[in-house]
Structure 1
Amino acid sequence: MALNFLSTFPPPAEGVRQQQLDTEAVIDGQVLGNGTLYIAESRLSWLDGSGMGFSLEYPSIGLHAVSRDVSVYPREHLYVMVNAKLGEKAQESNMMEDENGGGDYDDDDDDEPITEIRFVPSDRSALEAMFSAMCECQALHPDPDDEDSDDDFEGDEYDVEAHDGMEVDVAPAVAGQFDDADVDH
């Protein structure tokens, strides 16, 4: 995985709802190391000790959850799914699509690339506060394509058991988001 999207920037100074020191970032299975996670009203940011890191806008975050199932990942963590592929290869791929007749691009949700990020705090008791801060901040950035998202769920937390056995506390889903999902009963 190309991690050329990492850059240096100052930590957020305004609207920080949660600052979690000593938090490991893992992107698509690749450990970036320990740093500080900033859950701010405007963005979600992570910076290591040298000031290198990444920052995400909330509309790009499709899902966030607290994962406690150590059979899926060895430590409890805040799971974040980004509706894009982070890194240089994804950016190059998008540029090629535009150059090669972007008009034929099919905007099918099934083909949308994703990136999985796990934020593993050294203090696992902080997970609930991290999740709550994420819910609050994400609610400040409703999906403009969903007319119902302003009124749905009011930041409540839900315990769900996914079909693969992973138990998570999930952020409110967007109405209709999982209409085509396969569910085992």
Structure 2
Amino acid sequence: MVLGLRIITERTGDGVGQPVLDTDNGEQFMRVQPGVDIVLGNRPRESHGTLYISTRQVIWLSDVDKDKGYAVDFLSMSLHAVSRDPEAYPVPCIYALVFIETEADQDESDNSDSEHNDTLDLSKIREMRLIPSDPSQLDTLFETFCECAELNPEPNDEEGEEHDWIFGADQMQDEEAEDYISQNPAHPIGQSNGDHDLARTVLQLRIDEDLYEDAEGMEQDGNRSHN
């Protein structure tokens, strides 16, 4: 398997077409979401596309350029989350952290300006953002991502091991979330914080605003009780 993002141009059907799936091996569509823009790394936002989520991969196809399309296998995504923090990105989106081939490539990508050039080198792209025109679809898309990620466990995963990088706020206890936040101050995605902080940052974005408010309210109630 080739890790990371890849360009796809093959389509089937009428009009702008749809991606070709490996149906012989059971691959099928889980969700098709029109009106989705994509941002790869620090490159400009690419508009007017359709997002296809299959049992194995995430595919984005341009609605205006039949030769433009990107895909990434779920096994190549180490983390995904809903981002609603304007300090991380100006508009709500699905954020995904993508594996690249080797550690050496990863170091090179941090210092490379290839993401700003006209030539797109997907082997150096580590981040992907998917921006639906209807932000209310974010939670549904996230749930589909989670479902498909569970269908694609890492080959070396132990039986029964859970992927704690895909859980949402409703699966966390208030005390756990509050403790997590206190130990991990937020850093906007895209800044050079190092990989270990990046994963924590994206996970924090998935924590619902209501949970923040609940934690803050608990703290205020505690302060009043001591006065």
Report the TM range for the smaller structure's normalisation.
0.5 to 0.7
Match of 2:48 in 1: 34
Match of 2:71 in 1: 55
Whether the 8 Å CA contact 1:37–1:46 is kept in 2: the answer is yes
Within 2, Cα distance between the matches of 1:122 and 1:12? 24
The 5 A counterparts of 1:103-122 are: 115-122=126-133
Which residue of the other structure, out of 37, 42, 62, is the alignment partner of 1:24? 37
Whether the 8 Å CA contact 2:8–2:71 is kept in 1: the answer is no
Matched, 1:169 2:206: yes
Within 2, Cα distance between the matches of 1:141 and 1:120? 24
- Give the AA of the match of 2:205: V
> Could you list the runs of 5+ residues in structure 2 that have no partner in the other structure?
12-18, 22-26, 109-123, 171-176, 189-203, 208-227
Within 1, Cα distance between the matches of 2:90 and 2:205? 14
Moved over 4 A (4+): 153-156, 159-162
Within 2, Cα distance between the matches of 1:38 and 1:114? 20
Identity %: 30
Whether the 8 Å CA contact 1:23–1:120 is kept in 2: the answer is yes
Match of 1:107 in 2: none
CA RMSD, Structure 1 to Structure 2 (Å)? 2.8
Whether the 8 Å CA contact 2:37–2:131 is kept in 1: the answer is yes
Whether the 8 Å CA contact 1:66–1:168 is kept in 2: the answer is yes
Whether the 8 Å CA contact 1:44–1:57 is kept in 2: the answer is yes
- Give the AA of the match of 2:129: R
1:29 CA drift (Å):
1.9
1:25-62 superposed Cα distances (whole Å, 9 cap, x missing partner): 00012123230111110211000012321111111100
Q: Secondary structure at the match of 1:129?
A: helix
1:156 CA drift (Å):
4.5
Whether the 8 Å CA contact 2:6–2:72 is kept in 1: the answer is no
Pair member with larger Rg: 2
Q: Which has the higher helix share?
A: 2
Q: Secondary structure at the match of 2:206?
A: strand
Q: Secondary structure at the match of 1:8?
A: coil
TM-score computed with the length of structure 1 as normaliser: 0.65
Whether the 8 Å CA contact 1:23–1:119 is kept in 2: the answer is yes
Matched, 1:76 2:92: yes
